[in-house]
Structure 1
Amino acid sequence: MLIAGLVLAGIAALIHVYIFYLESFAWTDRKTLATFGMTAQQAEAMRPMALNQGYYNLFLAIITVVGIVLASVGSTAVGAALVFAGAGSMAAAAVVLVVSDPSKRSAALKQGAAPLLGVIALAVGLLV
C-alpha cells in the first residue's frame, strides 16, 4: 500500500503541474476558457489571481514529489510527512472547491481524487 500511495500522490502531483500550466501560462487560451467556463474578459480580470493560484498548485506538487523521492530512498517518515502535507492540501482544496461551489463537483473530483486516495493508501501502508 505504501507504493500505491506514493504512485497516487505522484499522479496528483502531475495533475497539479498541469493545473499550474493552465493557470499560469494558458489562462486566456480558448481551451482553458472552456475548461474553466469563463469569458476572455473574466479571464483577463482574474489573471493575477490565477497566476498566484497556479504557483500554489506547483508548490504543492513540488512538496509532494520531494516527499515521494525521500520516502523512496529510505527517509520514510520525512517523505511521508511531505506527501501528507502536499497531497493532503490538494485533497482539502478540492473539498473547499465543492463546498464553495457545488457546480464544480467534477473539477473537485478531478483534482481531489488522486491525492485523497494517495493519502489514504499511504496511511494504510504506514500502519501495516
Structure 2
Amino acid sequence: MPATLNLAASAAVALAGLVHVAIFLMESVFWGRPQVHGRFGVRDGSDAETVRPWAFNQGFYNLLLAVVAFVGVAVGQVDAHTEPSTGAAGVGMALGAVSVMLGAAIVLVLSDRRMGRPAAVQGFFPLLAVVLIFV
C-alpha cells in the first residue's frame, strides 16, 4: 500500500464521499418525498413509512462512510505534507471506506440485477479510488 494519497486518488475518494452524502440525504432527510423513496423501489406511501426507520439507519451508515473517507483524505494530505512516513494512516482510512462502498455496490447489483444503475452510481468513484490508490 502506498504511504500517501496522490491528488487523483484523493479526489476520487472525496467524490465517493459526496455521493454517499447525497445518498444519506435521500435516505434520512428527504425519504418522505415520493420521488425520493420511489428511486429505491418503494412506490407506496405506507410502505415508505414502514421502511422509514431502515432507510434512516442506512442513510447514517452512508454518511458515516463518507466521513471516514473525508477524514482519510484529510489525514492523508496533512501527513503527506508534514510527516510523509505516517501518510499510510490516511491511505488506510480512505481505502477502507471506499472498499466498503464498493462492496456494498457489488452486493446491491448481485441482490437485484435491476439495481445496476444505482450500483454503478454508488460504486464508480470507489472503484476509481481503489485503482488510483494502487497505481
Per-residue deviation, 1:3 = 1.2
Q: Determine the structure 2 residue equivalent to 1:12.
A: 16
Give per-residue Cα distances to partners, 1:88-110, cap 9 Å, x unaligned. 10010000000011110000000
Q: TM-score, normalised by structure 2?
A: 0.87
What residue ranges of structure 2 are gaps of 5+ in the alignment?
80-85
Give per-residue Cα distances to partners, 1:5-26, cap 9 Å, x unaligned. 1101100100100100110111
Q: TM-score, normalised by structure 1?
A: 0.92
User: Please, which of 21, 39, 44 is the counterpart of residue 35 of structure 1?
Assistant: 39
Question: Which structure: larger Rg?
Answer: 2
Distance in 1 of aligned mates of 2:47 and 2:131 = 37
Kept after mapping to 2: 8 A contact 1:8/1:114: yes
RMSD value, Cα: 1.2
Distance in 2 of aligned mates of 1:49 and 1:98 = 19
Distance in 2 of aligned mates of 1:104 and 1:57 = 17
Per-residue deviation, 1:42 = 1.7
Per-residue deviation, 1:49 = 0.6
Give the match's secondary structure for 1:28.
coil
What residue ranges of structure 1 are gaps of 5+ in the alignment?
none
Distance in 2 of aligned mates of 1:6 and 1:76 = 12
1:1-128 to structure 2, matched below 5 A, reads: 2-38=6-42, 39-74=44-79, 75-124=86-135
How many pairs align?
124
Per-residue deviation, 1:34 = 2.9
What is the percentage of aligned positions where both structures have the same residue? 37
Per-residue deviation, 1:30 = 2.2
Distance in 2 of aligned mates of 1:68 and 1:82 = 8
